[in-house]
Homo-oligomer: A and B are copies of this chain.
Amino acid sequence: MLEAKLDQAIMLKRLLDAIKELVTDANFECTEEGINLQAMDNSHVALVSVKLDAVGFTKYRCDRPMPLGVNLGSLTKVLKCAKDDDVVTLKAGDDADVLNLTYEAKNSDRIAEYDMKLMDIDSDTLGIPDTDYDARVTLPAAEFARIVKDLSTLGESVRIEVSKEGVRFASDGEGANGSVLLKQTDAAREKYAHYNDDDEASGTKDEDEEEEDGEDGEGAKKKKSKKSKVKTEDVEMDGEDEGEEEFKAKSDDEGEEEQDEEEEGNKKKRKTAPTKPAAKKSKKSDDSESPDGGVSIEMNQHVTLTFSLKYLVNFAKSSTLCNVVQLMMSNDVPLLVSYKFAQGHIRYYLAPKIGDE
């Protein structure tokens, strides 16, 4: 039996707007810890991973793990019937074939109830192992959205170059070439210094700061690159990056997220107390104090990757969920685009284009 109560329906609405064009059907994997969703996009090029923490709900109860196979179109329709600030309760009985949604007005003089049919979805849960990234760029979500949208009018793909000074997005098109350089700002570095402290997979903040303050060149960077990477989940890549079926299915049905918590020993160290309560606090404050923040860059190595703009534009729809986005990159590894919000996070993975495809 699942029962999850959420204070603001708009959060769910935005979440669905953010993924429904990418994915049509997906399993909401409900466990004691919360709700996870993971799915390849329809053309199997990108991967979406959503996590809603149990603690993010006003009330959360899930007796035993249950996957809820949801058609996202249907859910979107049903959610449209909720007012933005309605209190939403999701309910599903064990082995039920419907998800029950209850919308309660704040003054509770209106109660709407919907039963949405569930479906069986093959859940070849995809493996998203931890990854240490060579570069992490933290920037205003609106800025990112604007840039990829702008460049998508010129060309098909964008080359993202991360260096000390900043991050450059460049696209070559028929009629024009475009390039946007975002310079790192000290204000942004400070603001986002502890942005990832509460992550299961946090970056190596202290080391990064040292590195970037010192003026070591590319050579020095490369030496370090193996020992102080920016860590997060990563995806397994196929050998060939042909733009289709980039991710491998994995038989393991759980632990994609939580296993990270245990993998502390891999090439990185935590900066501060990684306990959940403290972390939540710091995240909250970061989220709210980002009015027009600049760009912050943590990196071990110069990274240059090329991606399909179409997908990035789609990812940027999550700007409604959070006004900060993080891009994690390593050469020849899928880009991770991550948005955090009060209840959890949404992450997109996109394999880079190789050569001039």
**Which residues between 112 and 146 of chain A lie within 8 Å of chain B, taking CB atoms?**
112-117, 143
Q: B81 to A150, Cβ gap below 8 A?
A: yes
From known contacts A109-B183, A153-B81, infer whether A115 and B295 are also in contact, taking CB-CB under 8 Å: no
Q: B178 to A112, Cβ gap below 8 A?
A: yes
CB of A24 to closest CB in B, whole Å: 12
CB of A327 to closest CB in B, whole Å: 16
What 1/0 mask marks residues of chain A from 151 to 195 whose CB sits below 8 Å from any chain B CB? 101100000000000000000000111111111010000000000
Number of interface residues of A (CB under 8 A): 33
Q: A81 to B178, Cβ gap below 8 A?
A: yes
**Which residues between 183 and 219 of chain A lie within 8 Å of chain B, taking CB atoms?**
183, 185
Inter-chain CA distance A64–B154, complex, in Å, is 31
CB of A173 to closest CB in B, whole Å: 8
A227 at the interface (CB under 8 A from B): no
From known contacts A109-B183, A181-B111, infer whether A176 and B117 are also in contact, taking CB-CB under 8 Å: yes
CB of A38 to closest CB in B, whole Å: 22
Q: Cβ of A181: which chain B residues have Cβ within 8 Å of it? A: 110-113
A27 at the interface (CB under 8 A from B): no
Inter-chain CA distance A77–B179, complex, in Å, is 14
- Sorted from nearest, which 7 A-B pairs have the closest CB atoms? A74-B175, A81-B150, A116-B176, A112-B180, A114-B178, A115-B177, A109-B183
**Chain A contact residues, CB within 8 Å of chain B:** 71, 73-74, 77-78, 80-81, 109-117, 143, 150-151, 153-154, 175-183, 185, 294-295
